[in-house]
Amino acid sequence: MSERMVYLDCFSGISGDMTVAALIDLGVPPSVIDWEVAKLDLGAHLHVDRRQSQSVTGVKFTVHEGEAAECSGADAEPHTHEHEHPHDQGHTHSHDHPHEHDHDHVHHEHTHSHEHPHVHGRTHGQIRALISASELSDFVKTKSLAIFARIAEAEGRIHGVPAEDVGFHEVGAVDSIVDIVAVCVGIEHLGCPVIGSSVLFDGSGWIDCAHGRYPIPAMATLEILKGIPFRQIDEEFEFVTPTGAALVAEFSQYYGPMPELVVEKIGYGLGTRTLPGRPNALRAVLGETASERAPSLLERDEAVLLETNLDDLTPELLAAATQRLMDSGALDVWITATTMKKQRVGWLLSVLVEVERESEFAEAILRTTSAFGVRRSVLGRWKLARSFHEVTVAGFPIRIKIGTIGIERVQASPEFEDCLTVATETSLPVRAIYEKALLAFHASKDRTQM
């Protein structure tokens, strides 16, 4: 059967405020977000208006703490909405207020937008208590808490502290809390459709944030996007904020080009800065999957298979060549016994590599074997989404590779090299370490989030 779907086309990246704005442009009433956010009692005023980014018209969403500012500026075109509920939130004034989730794309020489002037940091525990004690729906609570947990776990791994004790600076500010909760409210209002996303990318350069000066992609962004298709481009701007990464990681069940849809509506959520060569917008497409089959939740990509026949290389040299190829980062290397021309017994060397590293490995094969040529073929691959979780066995860390289809975990496998290292250090059998690692993983409280 067909399903309702929201496809996030992140051609200029993604952030919290841009996602809220895109959902509003798809038809989520600002008053609905207004009413639900008021349940957190943050004293936040929501500002919604229509603007343009390089001739693309869309919604701009900002959050203001304290007294609402008066509407100002020639480009301020208020998006008026009726308050359906008795409260004083949700003023529709234009308010150009820089904060992290405005998705301010930052040149490496400029101050990163994470440094907003009204930061009121909260710990993960405080935010969890705030949301848990509210009267938000179960769906909004569950998803909001899961998103903050992703960010806290990423920050905890970076800074070496338990997730519970992570102190949020930018993401703990009022505007960031509002952005995350508002996205969950918007998705629930649309009927909890399937969420899909284009493959994410981020720029280069540097950012200045509460923890100091760091390279783009931000460290938390990279941590959150483990196991999700992601690449870097040669543009000195931040395109994906940690909040944007966490939203995609939590909701998206599909990554790639837009699947076949009967499009119902298109929304644009605008960022703040002017970008060279592209509108600063997130495009959200709402529609029904056009076929009886919903988009696959498996990931799909391409790889290059390099092959050559060898009949004059000793087994020792062939083993050394294959080990070097694996150590260099080949996706897989294997050798098949074969019969070559003139009935010679030989070997078929097969090396599977990432598309962008094809020439590098072709040269390595020609340099380390006796081959005079290498055949190539491009293969499409279906694969599980992958992520890693770390457990401790006998005092040593072991990585668990996790494979998922959508939100369902279907594989969990300890990394053999880690098990071998621990077995060597403890004099225990490798198999025993492997089994202990699996038991530790299954006993982990947060395994369902990995």
- The CA distance from 432 to 428, in Å, is 7
Instruction: Looking at the structure, tell me whether residues 233 and 309 fall in a common domain.
Output: no
Q: Which of 26-35, 383-392, 440-449 has maximum average pLDDT?
A: 26-35
pLDDT in the model for residue 121: 63
In a domain, 294, yes or no: no
pLDDT at 346 over 60: yes
> In terms of domains, do 170 and 279 share one?
yes
What pLDDT, on a 0 to 100 scale, did the predictor assign at position 182?
A: 97
Residue 207 lies in a domain: yes
pLDDT average, residue stretch 36-55: 91
**For range 91-108, the mean pLDDT:** 36
The pLDDT score that the predictor gives to residue 77 is 36
Cβ proximity of 410 and 297 under 8 Å: no
Is pLDDT at 207 greater than 90 in this prediction? no
Listed residues 363, 382, 401: the one ending a domain:
382
Lowest-confidence range among 58-67, 178-187, 276-285?
58-67
Verify that 244 and 330 share a domain, yes or no: no
Instruction: Work out the mean pLDDT of the chain and round it to a whole number.
Output: 82
pLDDT (tens digit, 9 = 90+) per residue, 148-177? 989 988 888 887 777 666 666 544 478 889
Give the residue, 428 or 102, on which the prediction is more confident: 428
Which of 382, 415, 430 is the last residue before a domain boundary?
382
pLDDT score recorded for residue 263: 94
Listed in sequence order, the residues at least 6 apart from 80 whose beta carbon sits closer than 8 Å to its beta carbon are: 92
Phi then psi for residue 113, to 5 deg, are -70, -5
pLDDT > 90 fraction of the chain, expressed in percent and rounded: 55
- pLDDT band (50, 70, 90) for residue 116: very low
Number of structural domains (the chain) is: 3
125 versus 11: the higher-pLDDT residue is: 11
Instruction: Say which residue, 101 or 376, is predicted with more confidence.
Output: 376
**Are residues 102 and 243 part of one domain?**
yes
Is the pLDDT confidence value at 87 over 80? no
Could you tell me the CATH number of the domain that includes residue 365?
3.30.70.1380
Do 140 and 32 share a structural domain? yes
Q: Are residues 256 and 366 in the same domain?
A: no
| Model pLDDT, residue 89 | 35
pLDDT at residue 99 is higher than 80 = no
19 in a domain, yes or no? Answer: yes
- At residue 173, the pLDDT reads 72
- Model confidence band, residue 73 (pLDDT cutoffs 50, 70, 90): very low
* Residues in a beta bridge with 376: 306
Q: What pLDDT is attached to residue 54?
A: 82
The boundaries of the domain holding residue 320 are 299-382
Of 177, 138, 129, 126, give the one whose Cα is nearest residue 17.
177
* Chosen domain end from 257, 289, 321: 289
- Counting DSSP H helices and E strands in the chain, the numbers are 11, 20
Among 238, 251, 121, 129, smallest CA distance to 173 is for: 121
11 and 117 share one domain: yes
Q: In terms of domains, do 378 and 245 share one? A: no
- At 59 the pLDDT is 96
- Give mean pLDDT, residues 401-425: 89
Q: Cβ(365)–Cβ(308) under 8 Å?
A: yes
277/346 same-domain check: no
Give residue 290's pLDDT: 67
pLDDT of residue 214: 82
Q: Is the pLDDT of residue 75 over 90?
A: no
Give yes or no for residue 120 having a pLDDT over 80: no
Question: Mind giving me the DSSP string for 306-352?
Answer: EEEEESSS-HHHHHHHHHHHHHTT-SEEEEEEEE-GGG-EEEEEEEE
Predicted confidence (pLDDT) at residue 360 exceeds the cutoff of 90: yes
Does pLDDT of 81 surpass 70? no
Same domain, 108 and 55: yes
Q: pTM higher than 0.75 for the full model?
A: no
Q: What is the CATH number of the domain that holds 389?
A: 3.10.20.300
Do 13 and 138 belong together in one domain?
Answer: yes
